[in-house]
Amino acid sequence: MKFPRPSAPTLLLLPAFIVLAAVVVVPLLLSLWSSFTPFRLTKPDSIWIFVGLRNYANLLSDWEFWVAFGRTVLLLTVALNLEMLLGLGLAVLVEKASRGQRVLRTIMMFPMMFSPILVGFQFKFMFNDNIGLVNNALQALGLTDRAIPWLIDGNLAFIAILVAEVWLSTAVFAIFILAGLMAMPREPMEAARVDGCTPWQTFRYVTWPFVMPFAFIAMTIRSLDIARAYDIVKIMTDGGPAKRTELLWTLIARTGYADSRMGMANAMSYFAIILSIVFTFYFFRKLAAARQQIGAEW
Amino acid sequence: MATVTLRKLEKRYGATPVVHGIDLEVADREFIALVGPSGCGKSTTLRMIAGLEDISGGEIRIGGRTVNDLPPRSRNISMVFQSYALYPHMTVRENMGFSLKIAGRSQAEIDKAVAEAASMLSLEQLLERRPSQLSGGQRQRVAMGRAIVRRPEVFLFDEPLSNLDAKLRSQVRTEIKKLHARMQTTMVYVTHDQVEAMTLSDRIVIMRDGHIEQVGTPEEVFRRPATRFVAGFIGSPPMNLQEALVYDGALAFSGGATLPIPPEFRNQVTAGQKVVFGLRPDDIFPAGHGLHSGDAAAVHTVELPIAITEPLGNETLVFADFDGREWVSRMLNPKPLKPGEKIAMSLDLGRAHLFDADTGRTLRK
């Protein structure tokens, strides 16, 4: 039996197709399929039972899931805004430094050099209600005489996680915005000073519009980061106390591995991905608009 | 309407002085050009007037008011930058109206001022565009429009034509001249291009190494340069300059050639004095192919070999060998010349210059 000989382009592209299929497409289809089944890791055969949209229907009325979803969005919003403000401040300060700027830039990036897991451990220790640095410092300064239950109270734990997240990643914003500031031509700022701007007005009307696209790039990256936040929360609170700090991915991981309800976990994942796509889409549109505004040539 | 006064104005970067205590008085409504080679301190001086650079010593007064410590926004000036410095995210209209918006003027007032400036510079069609959609010449016109809208007491120009090609440059130059005629405002204009300085300004300030070499009208700095540097800097092609010794009532050059002492300087030099002799290309020409200053007795004729010629149509630049150096001469009503040919050259010594060889200062009284 003779096969027709495939054309050269087909042959050359084939390896890439095979690798992509094996690594991306097949797992993706498998996970999508499993989200339509009651698949449990403990009962491998259950992957063959098709239940249609039951998992998704259950999710829609699953209060716990939507709370985790909302909390993730809240963390994302608050952390992004805080990081942007702090990063902007940091970048402006570093840009002003007339000497030692290289050293400052390097120091600024230190937090990014640590594994989020270790950062989680470190902040877990610092926020410990008995031996933690934070409570000790507050008590030593006489600001409080009791042990504040940082990681035990649900709201405080959220704040503690937020602090760790912001500490770890503010540098991302600082670096992008600093790059923007350094790429910015000096003359428009001087023109603004001559045109009658105070330093604040110069920043508001000239510097900020120029730096904005850089901030949006950082926003896009960080929104993806936070939407998949897992490690710091896993270490600091593991979604506790009583699921008061549960985020999307801690919930998904718990559902998939601890409860071994993989079909349901996969259904949740598809919702989570929609969240990421929405944010990425939103920031990319803002970025494109901002770039067009300054007539950027990149 | 304002005068600008610089008194002992100094600028140092660390220990390095770049402007050495200069004095200058710019009259109300005057157009003054600061000109000089790069690094002479002209831009720094302008930026100090604008308030973009701190001053290290001395005083700047605008309209009689000391502005040493005032920020740029309180000096009532406008500046046009070499790189245009437009706000990239604003339309032409917004760029031009920005300073008034900052000053809190009403929208109607802003619209009126912008429309007026736009019609003055024929920018009406471009008002809704962004700077990235404009050509270089258009951008520079917008920058000028932005400066006009403010109705400042003093306009500052920092090499505004340097980024334009030759044709646009002469166009925008004309526009600046018209602008000055219309606005009747004091203008300080920095350039390294002597043609711009000569064509635009009422007076020219020639700077070198942070000092002022000469201040004068274009006519003065061209006809009566105060120093050897000014003589070489102003004029194109540059003045022929050559060292000589006053000897036996004549100028003796190192190669053995001699020339009579120019009549104007006969009583200013002493025997044995080292001088620099200068003669513009216009004042040395093949006999019969140029115009002398009127004093026919001062015209001295020598035979010189031709090295090379550069025909320009209406005139030809003739490079002739004088005492081992190439001198440029301008030949009017040109006729063809062959390299190597020896021809009679008329030297109009009534227009010659003599400078002290050591100080470089003119020996003219």
Q: Give pLDDT tens digits for A21-77.
A: 999 999 989 888 888 888 888 888 888 888 888 888 888 888 888 998 899 999 999
Per-residue pLDDT at B8 exceeds 90: yes
Tokens 């100090």, located at residue: B48
| A289 in contact with chain B, both atoms CB, cutoff 8 A | no
What is the reported pLDDT for B200?
92
Tokens 């998949």, located at residue: A228
Per-residue pLDDT at A298 exceeds 70: no
pLDDT tens digits, one per residue of B146-192: 998 988 999 999 998 888 888 888 888 888 898 899 888 999 999 99
| A159 in contact with chain B, both atoms CB, cutoff 8 A | no
Per-residue pLDDT at A278 exceeds 80: yes
Fold equal for B4-232 and B237-356 = no
What is the reported pLDDT for B52?
92
Contact call for B83 and A210, based on CB within 8 A: no
- A 206-245 → B contacts, CB under 8 A: 206, 209-210
pLDDT band at B219 (very low <50, low <70, confident <90, very high): very high
CA–CA distance from A258 to each of A222, A262, A264, B337 (Å)?
28, 10, 12, 102
Structure token digits, residue B233: 């800097």
Per-residue pLDDT at A295 exceeds 70: no
Summarize chain A as % helix, strand, coil (round to 5): 75, 0, 25
Contact call for B72 and A194, based on CB within 8 A: yes
Chain B hits for A185, Cβ within 8 Å: 83, 85
Chain B hits for A297, Cβ within 8 Å: 132
Contact call for B131 and A205, based on CB within 8 A: no
Mean of pLDDT values over B29-51: 93
Structure token digits, residue B174: 């004309």
Computed over every residue of chain B, the mean pLDDT equals: 91
Per-residue pLDDT at B265 exceeds 70: yes
| B131 in contact with chain A, both atoms CB, cutoff 8 A | yes
What is the reported pLDDT for B287?
87
Query: B237-356: which CATH number, 3.30.70.20, 2.40.50.140, 3.20.20.70, 1.10.3720.10?
Result: 2.40.50.140
Count, residues in chain B: 365
pLDDT tens digits, one per residue of A111-139: 888 898 999 999 989 988 888 888 888 88
Chain B hits for A294, Cβ within 8 Å: 88-89
Query: Would you say B348 and B292 are in contact if contact means Cβ atoms under 8 Å apart?
Result: yes
Range name among A215-224, A233-242, B105-114, B128-137 with the lowest pLDDT average: A233-242
| B4 in contact with chain A, both atoms CB, cutoff 8 A | no
In angstroms, the CA B263 to CA A283 distance is 80
B94 or A242, greater pLDDT: B94
Contact call for A194 and B102, based on CB within 8 A: no
Mean of pLDDT values over A261-270: 89
Query: Would you say B11 and B40 are in contact if contact means Cβ atoms under 8 Å apart?
Result: no
Contact call for B51 and A210, based on CB within 8 A: no
Query: Would you say B299 and B347 are in contact if contact means Cβ atoms under 8 Å apart?
Result: yes
In angstroms, the CA B264 to CA B255 distance is 24
Query: Would you say A92 and A189 are in contact if contact means Cβ atoms under 8 Å apart?
Result: no
pLDDT tens digits, one per residue of B305-359: 999 999 998 999 999 999 989 999 999 988 888 888 999 999 999 999 999 999 9
Structure token digits, residue A58: 């259950």
Could you say which of B102, B131, B132 has the minimum Cβ distance to residue A197?
B102
A4 or B190, greater pLDDT: B190
| A58 in contact with chain B, both atoms CB, cutoff 8 A | no
What percentage of chain A exceeds 70 in pLDDT?
98
What is the reported pLDDT for A41?
83
* Continuous segment of H or E residues that includes residue A231: helix A231-236
The ipTM is 0.81
| A185 in contact with chain B, both atoms CB, cutoff 8 A | yes
Distance in Å from the first CA to the final CA of chain A? 55
| B89 in contact with chain A, both atoms CB, cutoff 8 A | yes
**Distance from chain centroid for Cα B237:** 15
pLDDT band at B19 (very low <50, low <70, confident <90, very high): very high
| B81 in contact with chain A, both atoms CB, cutoff 8 A | yes
| A191 in contact with chain B, both atoms CB, cutoff 8 A | yes
Q: Is B113 helix (H, G, I), strand (E, B) or coil?
A: helix
pLDDT band at A146 (very low <50, low <70, confident <90, very high): confident
In angstroms, the CA B163 to CA B91 distance is 21
pLDDT tens digits, one per residue of B104-138: 999 999 999 999 999 888 888 999 998 888 888 88
Contact call for B88 and A210, based on CB within 8 A: yes
Contact call for B71 and A197, based on CB within 8 A: no
Residue B31 β-bridge partners? B187
**Distance from chain centroid for Cα A81:** 12
Per-residue pLDDT at A293 exceeds 80: no
Residue-range domain boundaries for chain B: 4-232, 237-356
Closest Cα in chain A to B83? A187
Closest Cα in chain B to A293? B89
Per-residue pLDDT at B251 exceeds 70: yes
Structure token digits, residue B55: 């001053």
Contact call for B87 and A197, based on CB within 8 A: no
Helices (H), chain B: 42-50, 92-102, 107-120, 136-149, 166-183, 194-200, 218-223, 228-233
Could you say which of A194, A201, A210 has the minimum Cβ distance to residue B79?
A194
Closest Cα in chain A to B158? A187
Q: Does domain B4-232 have CATH number 3.90.1150.10?
A: no
What is the reported pLDDT for A139?
86
pLDDT tens digits, one per residue of A149-203: 888 888 888 998 999 999 999 999 999 999 999 888 888 999 999 998 999 999 9
Query: Would you say A191 and B147 are in contact if contact means Cβ atoms under 8 Å apart?
Result: no
Q: What is the CA radius of gyration of chain B?
A: 24
What percentage of chain A exceeds 90 in pLDDT?
24
Contact call for A192 and B86, based on CB within 8 A: no
Chain A hits for B89, Cβ within 8 Å: 209-210, 293-295
Mean of pLDDT values over B210-231: 94
Q: Rounded to a whole number, what is the distance in Å from the CA of B77 to chain A's nearest CA? A: 7
Mean of pLDDT values over B21-48: 93
pLDDT tens digits, one per residue of B277-313: 999 999 999 988 888 777 778 889 999 999 999 999 8
Domains located in chain A, CATH noted: 59-294 (1.10.3720.10)
Could you say which of B50, B84, B132 has the minimum Cβ distance to residue A194?
B50
Structure token digits, residue B184: 């009747």
What is the reported pLDDT for B207?
94
